[in-house]
Structure 1
């Protein structure tokens, strides 16, 4: 059983917090796991990107409490499962904390192993595409959690 699930991307203001709040919502309030997120090059201290937040809200999930934070080796070691948005993130995480390698996977692992493209500073359709892929990835992990 995974007790501490960490979701990672680059800035921790779009994709990883979207996945964090979606997964937390889908697991429900009674689930034992804690879900958090962090960024490889986080925009630490910043709230969630406005468009990403709006998409979550439109789908009934409030990510307004999110504050971006930096990913580090301690967070990786303390996590039972680490889900990343892109293969390059998986590689970077494994370099950062080689001892965590066995628990790092793509969010899209069970759907097709695709990278989830970064929508940051793009138009809303890019965010919608990322949201859709994140939603599929989150859904695919539920039976394992």
Structure 2
């Protein structure tokens, strides 16, 4: 059973925090204990979640106001039982940092065969689309992790 999940994107202000908080919320609703955190391969360290992402998540009942971006590190990769990335180049960066993460690193959209494009500085519609893709990708992982 995976108890420590790490979500990874580029800046750690849009996609990976949204995925982190949605995974945690849905797994906990299923009555399973889970630790979830997120990081960026080029994190905007200590920045809050992006404003549009915060508003879209708030509309879904998820508060990202306390999130602060953090940099991906080998220690964080070793901490995780499961690493979920948004795009294939994130997986490449993870494996370059720690080749031993190979068997536990997957696209968040693994089950839907989808990469989650970066909405940063691309407007509200891009953020809404990314969040819809994240939600669709999270649900199969929740089912798998709670089985």
Q: When the two structures are superposed, what TM-score results if normalisation uses the length of structure 2?
A: 0.95
Aligned-partner Cα distance in 1 for 2:17–2:6: 10
Residue 24 (structure 2) pairs with residue 24 (structure 1): yes
Shift of residue 31, structure 1, vs aligned partner: 2.4
Aligned-partner Cα distance in 1 for 2:103–2:96: 12
* Equivalence for 1:137: 137
Deviations 1:2-28 (A, max 9, x none): 011000000000000010111111112
Deviations 1:53-80 (A, max 9, x none): 0000011111111010000111101110
Matches within 5 A, 1:1-145: 1-28=1-28, 30-112=31-113, 114-145=114-145
Equivalent residue pairs, number:
144
Q: When the two structures are superposed, what TM-score results if normalisation uses the length of structure 1?
A: 0.96
Equivalent position SS for 2:66: coil
RMSD of the TM alignment (CA)?
Answer: 0.9
Aligned-partner Cα distance in 2 for 1:32–1:131: 24
CA contact (8 A) 2:28 2:34 kept: no
Aligned-partner Cα distance in 1 for 2:34–2:26: 12
Equivalent position SS for 1:28: helix
Shift of residue 103, structure 1, vs aligned partner: 0.4
Equivalent position SS for 2:142: helix
Equivalent position SS for 1:110: coil
Give unmatched runs, 5+ long, in structure 2: none
